[in-house]
Amino acid sequence: MSEPLLKVTGLKKYFPIRAGIFGKEVGQVKAVDDVSFEIRQGETLGIVGESGCGKSTTGRSLMRLIEPTEGEVFFEGKNVTKMSKEELRKARRDIQMVFQDPYASLNPRHNIQKILEEPLRVHGIGDAKERKEKVAKLLNIVGLSSYHAQRYPHQFSGGQRQRIGIARALMTNPKLIIADEPVSALDVSIQAQVLNLMKDLQEELKLTYIFIAHDLGVVRHISDRVGVMYLGKMVELANSEQLYEKPLHPYTQALLAAVPVPDPDFKRETELLKGDIPSPSNPPSGCTFHTRCPFKMDHCSKEIPMLVEVEPGHSVACHLYKDGLNNDNNFAKTEG
């Protein structure tokens, strides 16, 4: 297999908790705790998890919008985490981002022409005429018209704004796009449009996506591989099909079981998760999921499970699979 486009090893982001007038550090929030993965050219990696599990922080740390505490990120073999400010600025031409809130991510005082031109200006690409043409071209690509360029963000709907956000991310012909919950602020009907647009663009422009979301259905629709995060850790990473057909980690199983079924008579076979996600400033010992896990064993609270590949293309961090995948495992069947 060829060199991966992006390789992340041991990524950590701890936010300090400060207290008192001198801002003494009294603790840490482990937002991202030792996450590693790879992405190949042209594929889509979905990252899912509850709110506060560190998925957005992971996305932002990759671009160093949030400075990671530890770990390394290699983009096309170059170490992003060791780049100087100026090198990083130039590298951002190849890694772009689509944001969650299409209302907040566009400057309300700039018209669309100015918003879309900005990446080109920043990187000194093209002259005024070429920039204008490129803006018109991309507006067409994302399904808007060139006359929209003179308008202001408040004159567009949420879905249209998100298209503008996507167009902005495409202006510099990037190789990798990190989409941070790009559809969660949109109506369901608009979600499908934007997702299909992103899929079409991927085929056409050979893009690679990291797709962050909390909606499993959305992720399934667009991803080749999916990583599930819980409390800053990646607990399961598998091909999309494998993950949805045969989830291994108890947390993934619970997540999938919680997906609403459009049938009022439907009775759930598995219990939904109880309790809240524990505080990431004081995570449980051992496996962080043991406080809510229905299959908890004695050593779960003592030993931290590692993410290991239990079958080709399917990794999971759970003590249940310490000895590899056992097909008689009673609990693989309980999944609903």
Partner 1 sequence: MTSMTPELNPKSSKAKARSPFQDSLRTFRKSKLAVIGTIIVVFFILLAIFGPLIAPQGINEQNFKLKLQSPSSEFWFGTDVFGRDIFSRVVLGSRLSLMVGFASVAISIIVGSILGILAGYYGRWVDTIISRFFDILLAFPSILLAIAIVTALGPSLFNALLAIAIVNVPNFGRLIRSKVLSIKEEEFITAAKAIGMKDSRILFTHVLPNSMTPIIVQGTLAIATAIIEAAALGFLGLGAQAPAPEWGKMLSDARVYLVNAPWTMIFPGLAIMLTVLGFNLMGDGLRDAFDPKMKN
Count of residues near partner 1 by CB under 8 A: 46
- Nearest to 49, CA basis, from 273, 310, 204, 271: 273
Q: For 327, phi and psi rounded to 5 degrees? A: -70, -20
Q: Which two tokens stand for residue 6?
A: 């992006």
Q: Which stretch binds partner 1 (CB under 8 A): 196-204, 209-217, 241-249, 278-286?
A: 196-204
Alpha carbon distance 318, 32 (integer Å): 18
Can residue 249 be called a binding residue for partner 1 (CB under 8 A)? no
State the minimum distance, in angstroms, from the CB of residue 127 to partner 1: 19
DSSP per position, 79-115: EGGG--HHHHHHHTTTEEEE-S-TTTSS-TTS-HHHH
Alpha carbon distance 317, 103 (integer Å): 37
Can residue 61 be called a binding residue for partner 1 (CB under 8 A)? no
The residue behind tokens 């079409």 is: 200
Can residue 159 be called a binding residue for partner 1 (CB under 8 A)? yes
State the minimum distance, in angstroms, from the CB of residue 45 to partner 1: 18
Alpha carbon distance 1, 175 (integer Å): 19
Of these, 13, 30, 55, 168, which contacts partner 1 (CB under 8 A)? 168
Can residue 63 be called a binding residue for partner 1 (CB under 8 A)? yes
Q: What angle do CA 6, 235, 318 make, to 5 degrees?
A: 135
Site string for partner 1, 83-112 (x = CB under 8 A): ------xxxxx--xx-xxx--xxxxxx-x-
State the minimum distance, in angstroms, from the CB of residue 31 to partner 1: 16
**Residue 34 is which amino acid?**
D
Judged by beta carbon, residue 13 or residue 60, the one nearer partner 1 is 60
Where do contacts with partner 1 occur on this chain (CB under 8 A)?
Answer: 60, 63, 65, 89-93, 96-97, 99-101, 104-109, 111, 118-119, 122-123, 140-141, 143-145, 147-148, 150-152, 154-155, 159-160, 165, 168, 172, 193, 196-197, 200, 204
